[in-house]
Amino acid sequence: MAEVVSTAQFKNGMAIEVDNEAFSIVEFQHVKPGKGGAFVRTRLKNMASGAVLDRTFRAGEKFTRVHTQSRKMQYLYQTETEVVLMDEQSFEQVSVTPAMAAEALRWVVESGNVDLLELDGKPFAVEPPTTVVLEITQAEPGVRGDTAQGGTKPVTLETGVSIQVPLFIEQGEKIKVDTRNGAYLSRA
């Protein structure tokens, strides 16, 4: 029998079935207004199409949980029609569409690790690791201005992504970046 979860058991990343489609919970918030019943505001991502939508559910509403599987994969290469990943344990190669892997590949260089998410044995998403170490390929020299706190400047990473870093970071350095929000964490 399928596992059933209520809104009280929601967690970010959990997969549930809504209107006969699989959705991943991006974020949720329990709301208890002074008048009326409690409810849960959610942001859901459709696992098939990738579309994100906002839905509100009554507190205690129940949903069928969808089980997904995550596998550590190595990004091998990309062509116009496919992105090829390899399972590091079995050396099995899996091809996914460039659109499915586009967001993850913003943060990963060739031979870097990614997570392949599967639903019923079929790939539906590729996610980068939470943090990555990348080299800065372009950075303007830091200019101290009228900053009361530490200033920042834009830099370009080896994958082509631009982020803000502190003024003391220079071109050629390796830095650690949080892939969830593109924030600079530290020197590597």
pLDDT of 186 > 80? The answer is yes
All domains in the chain, ordered by first residue: 4-65 (2.30.30.30), 68-127 (2.40.50.140), 131-187 (2.40.50.140)
Calculate mean pLDDT across residues 164-185.
Answer: 88
DSSP 78-100: E-SS-EEEEETTT--EEEE-HHH
At 36, the pLDDT band (50, 70, 90 cuts) reads confident
pLDDT of 144 > 70? The answer is no
**Main-chain dihedrals φ then ψ at residue 8, nearest 5 degrees:** -70, -20
pLDDT score at 2: 67
> Do residues 166 and 151 lie in contact, with contact meaning Cβ atoms separated by under 8 Å?
yes
Other CB atoms within a 10 A radius of the CB of residue 36 amount to 8
Q: What is the pLDDT of residues 42-97, one digit of tens each?
A: 999 887 777 889 999 998 899 998 888 888 999 999 888 999 999 988 999 989 88
pLDDT of 1 > 60? The answer is no
Mean residue pLDDT of the chain comes to 86
pLDDT of 139 > 80? The answer is yes
pLDDT score at 71: 87
**Main-chain dihedrals φ then ψ at residue 61, nearest 5 degrees:** -65, 145
Rounded CA-CA distance 111/40 in Å is: 41
Other CB atoms within a 10 A radius of the CB of residue 146 amount to 5
Total-model pTM: 0.67
